[in-house]
Amino acid sequence: MADQIPLYPVRSAAAAGHKRAAYYSSAGPGPGADRRGRYQLEEESAHLDEMPLMMSEEGFENDESDYHTLPRARIARRKRGLEWFVCGGWKFLCASCCDWLINICQRKKELKARTVWLGCPEKSEEKHPRNSIKNQKYNVFTFIPGVLYEQFKFFLNLYFLVVSCSQFVPALKIGYLYTYWAPLGFVLAVTITREAIDEFRRFQRDKEVNSQLYSKLTIRGKVQVKSSDIQVGDLIIVEKNQRIPSDMVFLRTSEKAGSCFIRTDQLDGETDWKLKVAVSCTQRLPALGDLFSISAYVYAQKPQLDIHSFEGTFTREDSDPPVHESLSIENTLWASTIVASGTVIGVVIYTGKETRSVMNTSNPKNKIGLLDLELNQLTKALFLALVVLSVVMVTLQGFAGPWYRNLFRFLLLFSYIIPISLRVNLDMGKAAYGWMIMKDENIPGTVVRTSTIPEELGRLVYLLTDKTGTLTQNEMTFRRLHLGTVSYGADTMDEIQTHVLSSCSQVALVRWTESVGLTLVSRDLTSMQLKTPGGQVLTYCILQVFPFTSESKRMGVIVRDESTAEITFYMKGADVAMSSIVQYNDWLEEECGNMAREGLRTLVVAKKSLTEEQYQDFESRYSQAKLSLHDRMLKVAAVVESLERDMELLCLTGVEDQLQADVRPTLEMLRNAGIKIWMLTGDKLETATCIAKSSHLVSRSQDIHIFRPVTSRGEAHLELNAFRRKHDCALVISGDSLEVCLKYYEHELVELACQCPAVVCCRCSPTQKAHIVSLLRQHTGRRTCAIGDGGNDVSMIQAADCGIGIEGKEGKQASLAADFSITQFRHVGRLLMVHGRNSYKRSAALGQFVMHRGLIISTMQAVFSSVFYFASVPLYQGFLMVGYATIYTMFPVFSLVLDQDVKPEMAILYPELYKDLTKGRSLSFKTFLIWVLISIYQGGILMFGALVLFEAEFVHVVAISFTALVLTELLMVALTIRTWHWLMVVAEFLSLGCYVASLAFLNEYFGIGRVSFGAFLDVAFITTVPFLWKVSAITVVSCLPLYVLKYLKRKLSPPSYSKLSS
């Protein structure tokens, strides 16, 4: 097959080999390094090595390797030596050492298969984990060290810790201890308190789940036991509507049929109930207590991630001969699922960390916003400037005396270049944004659970969403029935009434048949009864049931009519699977397309009559296949397929899973905002495609490329090349094919998928969802947001930069694990367009303004020291410095959190404005440099102005320059604000009032440092006209040019939003 599909020509095998070598060597150590060895073993795809997968039509026209010219998925060439060490190599080495130590301390226990004796936990050979759920990040011992590490890994905080500690050394002491330790202590106190509250809430939620009581069966009867005290081997009784506490093998049920239904929506996101069958040997025992009178054990495979498969055996030793029963997925009850019918008894096989639900959930991690990372980079640049400035000062001194001590004193004098109030202001700002989001009446019920990343909402490029319960309401309605010659719909047939149901398409169909007169009277594992419109009861004996699997995409049943003894094989399934099984017809494909375009989930129903001989032959082959130990599933499937030929097509049905309110306009708004939407669902491919079309995730004019199932590298290669030739089409891919492609062509697949307008991944396990999110973050470097409503979405939500949970029918698990919790999908629009925009814009303005505040005073200190023969003497003493960063300027600066550039209505009406935010232009090196230049200009003007104008009254320089400085800061806040709020005006006048009032008390500080020789503030002098006009002149010179520049900029090149607001 590979030979028949033309690939683009390759210039020469040598060139191809050269390119491939470049690709693999540049990938460095890790998975890429061992890939070549593995590939060479694959005979069937050996020739593919001569044809690297091409990403562009030009193929290999360039000499440089294609992989280095990919737009996003560039593979960084390895840096060597010192360059590598400086550019983050030291971080890598530290992390490696820490990982090594952690691995030594907590060696992971190897997971093994196990033998579990019924009701005898003490017989267990291995020690198994406790059955407790733990979502906490810390414990009693790690809390303080953990929180301090999270704080001091930021360069800003670590720098201030060093500066504060240096003040304990007498030779380096610059000012009062409180001027350094008070702000640092405040930052740490706020952080520790916030983390402690969050941690306590998590502890309470865990305690609630772990304390749930269950009935445990013992020789002495039933005893109550906490969920966290359940052990491997315990016999646990679970009532209807109760959560299953651990992974169990299903032994008995109160239902006569020996089966029960469970709800798995918290595990795999699927809403249809799953039928589970009890082990027949234990179900047949006369009484419950007899479980202790037999000697039996379960052999279970080692714990693993796959929630859709299980292999094991049940053995009863004390019978003659011993009874062996094979166990499969239908005999298991996984933790976090809910019993929907009857009472069940199971034997616990996996607990705690080894249960399927916990293995599919990732550990919560501390999320750090992109804005915080950008500010961290800027503080490093400021630190570099600080060191350079100090070295220049010491050099100009001529390295006189103990120059190294002077160098350190200069570093401390200019330490205000990096303001500690930056963290205080930003953290308070984040808390304010969180409060505003929760108080927004347009998105009621929204909860901010992680208060550290509200700005992330304004930087998102990828939105990854679940389907069931997130985009849809999780409610099915029967809409259409097509019989080949005639089609019935809700609008054309009076008897058809639409029924809203909370389960799935099967229930919708059963309810509908009841509405037109055919009623299901009873149904158990072996028989079913139907009542016709005429009142006649038909009884059928159920001979075989073939459950739905994601591979077969169909399910079937063989029944015998009790009155006529006729044997019939009925089958229903997806049109893709059924079209090749049914007899030739000319309408099925066309009608399926019509229903799919309406967004309906289609089911094809067919039948086949069997003779007694045909059935007996089938049954013997089927039983034989079910007992085989090797390739059991393949052999069983092959036997069933022998029946699935030439079936008679009965009808086609269409069922609708209704979308949530306003999903279409919300998705359209997000698309217009430049956000790429990916749908990750555990549901079937056909259903996912239907919802993608009906929700307009994929627009009507767009093509859809359904990625064919692939199992090997060769198939993946060919299918990727076929997909590459498509342009501007949405991609639909299944979890299995995705796994194969990521194994061999990770870069290429992600690169191609990122160019698609929309991507749908179906049959995704919870771990795969999280893996896709991590891949997107890693390959594109863009911000991702994951949104879901079920327990199966928790890993994805925690892996994304920003996780949003919806409180829905699938419970609160997702909303509790998320950073933001909402009640409806449509609220995402306002959350991102309005609150995301405001949080990012305000924090960017606030961060840069606080830096400006530190830079301007450091510039003045530098000018002052230069004039005084480069003396390392502080310009402003003690309280002046603390007051400058707090009461004199804090309120106006903090009032920037109320600023907005665009009205909320405008932001929603023109979502295109959001595209600008993702480019990160509000806070960049360019804007930062502009603020640095402004600070140097203003600091220089204020200091030189004070020195030039006040030669006669030299001792008053400090008072004059400080007054002008405070006035300049207040005017600069006014210059930065885009939309005035009454609180901003109050803040400006309050700060000015505080400063004027404090002049009377702070006269001792207004001398020139320690060389003031008792020069105190002359109150009479402050009230003179020369003082007032000179201060006014300096302030005007420092601010007026900036006002003029701002006016000209708005006139000549106004920002996009100003055109709308005008």
Active-site residue list = 466
Alpha helices (H) in 792-924, listed in sequence order = 794-799, 813-817, 827-830, 837-867, 878-885, 890-894, 904-909, 914-918
Beta strands in 417-486 (DSSP E): 447-448, 460-465, 472-482
Q: What is the 3-state secondary structure (H, E, C) of 248-316?
A: EEEEEECCCCCEEEEECHHHHCCCCCEEEECCHHHHCCCCHHHHHCCCEEEEECCCCCCCCCCCEEEEE
The β-bridge partners of 130 are none
8 Å CB contact between 66 and 52: yes
To 5 degrees, how large is the angle CA 695–CA 700–CA 706?
Answer: 85
Taking the C-alpha atoms of residue 898 and residue 987, their distance in angstroms, rounded to an integer, is 12
Strands 820-822 and 802-806: parallel
The β-bridge partners of 730 are 704
Q: What is the 3-state secondary structure (H, E, C) of 381-421?
A: HHHHHHHHHHHHHHHHHCCCCCHHHHHHHHHHHHHHHCCCH
Taking the C-alpha atoms of residue 212 and residue 89, their distance in angstroms, rounded to an integer, is 48
Place of tokens 């300027």: 889
Burial of 844 per CB tally in 10 Å (0-12, 13-18, 19+): buried
By C-alpha distance, which of 738, 727, 736, 690 is closest to 705? 727
Q: Cis omega before residue 321 (within 30°)?
A: yes
Say what angle helices 735-744 and 713-724 make with each other, to 10 degrees: 100
Taking the C-alpha atoms of residue 575 and residue 206, their distance in angstroms, rounded to an integer, is 44
Backbone φ and ψ of 870, nearest 5°: 55, 40
Q: Give 556-559 contacts, CB < 8 A, sequence gap 24+.
A: 556/640, 556/644, 558/610, 558/615, 559/528
Taking the C-alpha atoms of residue 864 and residue 1048, their distance in angstroms, rounded to an integer, is 33
Burial of 345 per CB tally in 10 Å (0-12, 13-18, 19+): buried
How many CB atoms are located within 10 Å of the residue 496 CB?
Answer: 18
Q: How many CA atoms lie within 13 A of 319 on its CB side?
A: 14
DSSP state of 107: P
How many CB atoms are located within 10 Å of the residue 37 CB?
Answer: 8
8 Å CB contact between 268 and 331: no
By C-alpha distance, which of 273, 269, 266, 272 is closest to 358? 266
Q: CA 641: distance to chain centroid?
A: 41
Taking the C-alpha atoms of residue 165 and residue 157, their distance in angstroms, rounded to an integer, is 12
Q: Which two tokens stand for residue 650?
A: 């009965």
8 Å CB contact between 501 and 516: no
DSSP track, 727-760: -SEEEEEEHHHHHHHHHH-HHHHHHHHHTSSEEE
Taking the C-alpha atoms of residue 744 and residue 599, their distance in angstroms, rounded to an integer, is 34
Taking phi first (over 0 means left), then psi (-120 to 50 degrees means alpha), and beta for anything else, what does residue 85 get?
alpha
Backbone φ and ψ of 387, nearest 5°: -65, -45
